[in-house]
């Protein structure tokens, strides 16, 4: 699920983003739609945050002084279970704690930023592996069938700090090239780097060899999690 975090002054922008994601077949969560009359606002927010795989936070002069918005993105950073995607709506200074995270610029061209956001989520659906056949040992063949999101979840569950340094050493990657203030952020950056450098398949091969038991234990869990498709509304 994709949680949209925003200040009420930016509701119009948030609604446009929610509509674009929904039209792309994705599953956004936004309070004005998903908190029904009679619901506890706090309980619904906490539940949605706990179930979200992504948190899209709209950064603006309004949201940067909103205690609610800060609480939401701080919760995402603390749990390290959600991918945080900042969208910059104006030229306000980005908080230091978020400065390491790549943001989508919507200041100069909102529609272009919106298309970039949708492309990001579309890219999460499948792994762009080389079309040439390859021989991968053991369970790495199964890893080839995962979506990008499922591979990310598996990586988060099966790679600790020591494992990350092992892979960087084995793959001759400078540790300074992988950025992030937490292990979660560095693993996300590693996956982006592996995709950009066309070594994603090599990473999966390494993962299958080094962490076979964890992969076997976590595979069914990550494959059973639902993300794509529209949410079921209460009472529908």
pLDDT of 92-134, one tens digit each?
A: 888 888 877 888 999 989 999 999 998 888 776 654 443 333 4
Half-sphere exposure of 150 (CA within 13 A, CB side): 22
CA gap 48, 39 in Å, rounded: 13
DSSP state, residue 127: -
**Paired sense of beta strands 83-88 and 104-105, if any:** parallel
- Residue 214: both structure tokens together: 């964890």
Q: Does pLDDT of 73 surpass 90?
A: no
Per-residue pLDDT at 33 = 84
Q: pLDDT, tens digit, for every residue of 123-141?
A: 766 544 433 334 334 445 5
pTM (two decimals): 0.59
Going from the C-alpha of 129 to that of each of 62, 147, 190, the distances in angstroms are 41, 11, 16
CB 216 within 8 A of CB 139: yes
Total Cβ atoms within 10 A of residue 129: 14
- Alpha helix segments (H runs only) across 35-182: 41-51, 67-79, 110-123, 140-143, 148-158, 161-170
Per-residue pLDDT at 142 = 61
CA gap 60, 93 in Å, rounded: 9
Per-residue pLDDT at 119 = 85
């Amino acid at each position: 699920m994709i949680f949209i975090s925003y200040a009420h002054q930016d509701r119009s922008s948030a609604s446009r983003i929610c509509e674009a994601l929904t039209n792309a077949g994705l599953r956004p969560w936004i309070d004005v739609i998903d908190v029904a009359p009679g619901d506890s606002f706090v309980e619904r927010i906490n539940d949605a945050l706990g179930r979200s795989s992504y948190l899209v936070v709209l950064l603006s002069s309004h949201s940067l002084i909103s205690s609610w918005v800060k609480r939401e993105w701080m919760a995402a950073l603390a749990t390290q279970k959600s991918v945080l995607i900042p969208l910059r709506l104006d030229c306000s200074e980005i908080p230091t704690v978020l400065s390491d995270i790549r943001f989508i610029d919507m200041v100069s061209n909102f529609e272009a930023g919106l298309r970039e956001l949708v492309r990001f989520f579309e890219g999460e659906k499948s792994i762009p592996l080389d079309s040439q056949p390859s021989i991968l040992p053991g369970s790495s063949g199964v890893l080839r069938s995962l979506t990008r999101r499922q591979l990310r979840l598996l990586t988060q569950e099966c790679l600790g700090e020591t494992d990350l340094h092992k892979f960087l050493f084995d793959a001759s990657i400078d540790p300074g090239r992988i950025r992030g203030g937490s292990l979660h952020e560095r693993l996300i950056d590693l996956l982006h780097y592996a995709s950009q450098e066309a070594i994603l398949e090599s990473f999966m091969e390494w993962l299958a060899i080094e962490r076979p038991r964890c992969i076997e234990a976590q595979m069914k869990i990550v494959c059973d999690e639902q993300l794509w498709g529209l949410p079921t509304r209460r009472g529908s």
